[in-house]
Chain A
Amino acid sequence: MITLADAVNTAIIGKGLMIGGGFIGPGIGIGIIGGNYMAAVGRNPEASKFLGQALVFIAIIELFGLLAFASIFIVK
């Protein structure tokens, strides 16, 4: 008897879900940071000097997306 798991390469589906799910969170997070940064600059142009700090937080968030990307190589 052939099950669905034999007929379909589930690893590829899993990889696709991992990439999609793993990138959506950091995407939203970086969007929130960027949006709030632009809102702060729009309200108070002096705030533009904090771009470096915003980038630090973006890098912290970005790590989770990269972890998801790295994990797809482990799924067989």
Chain B
Amino acid sequence: MFNGLKIFGSGPAVYITPEKIFTIHGISITNSIFYGWIAGIILLVVFILVARRITVRPKGGLIQFVEVGVTYMSNLVESSFEDPERGAKYVPYFVSLFFFLLFNNWLGLLPGVGEAFQSHGNPLFRSFTGDLNATLAVGIVTMGLVYVASIKEAGLKDYLKHFFVGNPLNPMYLFLGMIEMTTDFTRVISLSIRLFLNVTIGEIVIAVFAYLGSFFAPLTAAPFTLIELFVGALQAYIFVILSVMYLAIAVNHATANHDQDLTDESVPETMRLQSEKA
């Protein structure tokens, strides 16, 4: 099912799988990777140009757009940490991740992406984030950074300790902590599947409504394309804010005062009562 190109039979053309367009030394380059490179190059060029021309009183829409976005995202990343100084060094990665995903989500909506340009019968361009391999790669790199950084910030012992609400020697807390640990591994999957499904299903919806509209395709597809503009920005924001939160939870827990923690001194008031009763 997922290996076919047209998933609706005689319906609109919807491409689920990336297709190989050329090979470099035996490594096949798919159309989504190719388009991701293009998006990366556009991102680099735009940001280098903007960074060169940055002034105290910026002129021009593009510079202001970039500046507002960068300021907003860097404030967001820094304010997630209790100690903004610690958060400052993660700002460059997360802000560029946000803009990379945003550019890819929006560039995937351009006309011409899809079956307009073909190479060996396959579409030449394909939105990068509409490919599960791509979003998985982004998710694995991001969560790898999050794990390494949180172990480095908190220390291995404190990092392991943040899974447990109380003393790990208590069997109940041990069990809950174990369950909490397994949820860590689902984060990569949930992050990447959320991004992939939002983008791909947006594409499918646009394709379906363009197909239904037949002659009036621009009219019927336009509202859904506008919704996808919003969803693309929202998903880039959510991808970044969730991964920052995963990092901030581990780091904040290590640096927080342990007064408000659910430690054994504060909680087991009831437990002590129970053991006295028994």
Contacts and interface: CB of A to CB of B under 8 A. Distances in A.
Interface of A: 52, 55-56, 59-60, 62-63, 66-67, 69-70, 73-74, 76
A56 B7 contact: no
Contact of B198 (A52, A55, A66, A74): A66
Contacts of B1: 73-74, 76
Name, among A66, A74, A76, the residue most crowded by chain B CB atoms within 10 Å (CB to CB): A66
B242 interface: yes
25 contacts: A52-B237, A55-B234, A55-B237, A55-B238, A56-B238, A56-B241, A59-B194, A59-B235, A60-B194, A62-B194, A62-B198, A63-B190, A63-B194, A63-B197, A66-B194, A66-B197, A66-B201, A67-B193, A69-B201, A70-B201, A73-B1, A73-B7, A73-B16, A74-B1, A76-B1
A4 B198 CA distance: 36
Interface in B239-266: 241-242, 245
Q: Would you call the interface of chain B mostly helix, strand, loop, or mixed?
A: helix
Given A73-B2, A76-B1, A67 B238 contact: no
Interface residues of B, number: 19
B238 A63 contact: no
A63 B201 CA distance: 11
Contacts of A62: 194, 198
7 tightest CB-CB pairs across the interface, nearest first? A66-B197, A59-B238, A63-B194, A69-B201, A70-B197, A66-B201, A56-B238
Contacts of B76: 52
A30 to B, nearest CB: 13
Contacts of A73: 1-2, 7, 16
B273 to A, nearest CB: 35
Given A63-B190, A73-B1, A74-B1, A56 B197 contact: no
Given A73-B2, A73-B7, A59 B197 contact: no
Most buried by A among B2, B238, B242: B238
